[in-house]
Amino acid sequence: MAVAKTFQHVRCIYQASFHQYLGITFFLFSFTLGFYLLLWTFGVDLLWTLEKAQKWCSNPEWVHIDTTPFASLLRNLGILFGLGLALNSHLYQESSRLKQGQQLPFRLGCIAASLLILHVFDAFKPPSHMQLLFYALSFCKSAAVPLATVGLIPYCLSQLLATQDKKAA
């Protein structure tokens, strides 16, 4: 909650266009991939920690690919991409235009629905036997979280409450 309140006052997050979010995501991914390939050509294996951990861990099943720096970066890039997509979507703009966003029932409904959706997303574990598939699904999963919590849930809830207000009037 403290992070959300702090970033609420940073206007550049809300004013950046989708192309800026996409450009930053693409630049960071390209730079990281280029740096990884450069080190790989010089014989440096950045996944050496996985090999060591699997070799020396008493239970090798405890070692997961999602602890690698590349997986962490893709999660962060997915969140950045999803946030840019959500903040520039019609869903977010429509739900933030309405006055319901200031009302306590709307906020509590968004919190409850977001927690439920986050629990569903958390239950999905990308298959780790194929690295490329794991990384791609990890990126998509991370992008879907802010898209759902910032764009989809507030929009659906605002439409539901607006329909109920029209019926009551």
pLDDT of residue 61: 78
Place of tokens 């590349």: 70
Which long-range contacts (C-beta less than 8 Å, at least 24 apart) are formed by 10-16?
A: 13/83, 13/87, 14/87, 16/84, 16/87
- CB-CB contact of 125 with 119 (8 Å): no
Rounded to whole angstroms, the Cα distance separating 103 from 142 reads 28
Rounded to whole angstroms, the Cα distance separating 115 from 46 reads 35
Alpha helices in 42-68 (DSSP H): 48-56
- CB-CB contact of 105 with 162 (8 Å): no
Place of tokens 């930053």: 24
pLDDT of residue 10: 66
- CB-CB contact of 117 with 137 (8 Å): no
Q: Which residue from 116, 39, 134 is spatially nearest to 78, judged by alpha carbons?
A: 134
Rounded to whole angstroms, the Cα distance separating 113 from 63 reads 32
User: What letter would DSSP give residue 86?
Assistant: H
The two three-digit tokens of residue 78, written as one number: 């997915």
Rounded to whole angstroms, the Cα distance separating 74 from 83 reads 14
At 152, phi and psi to the nearest 5? Answer: -70, -50
pLDDT in tens, the chain (169 residues): 565 566 566 667 777 888 998 999 999 999 988 988 898 899 888 777 778 888 888 887 777 888 788 888 999 999 999 999 999 999 888 887 776 667 788 889 999 999 999 999 999 988 888 888 999 999 999 999 999 999 999 999 988 887 776 676 6
pLDDT of residue 36: 84
In this prediction the pTM is: 0.80
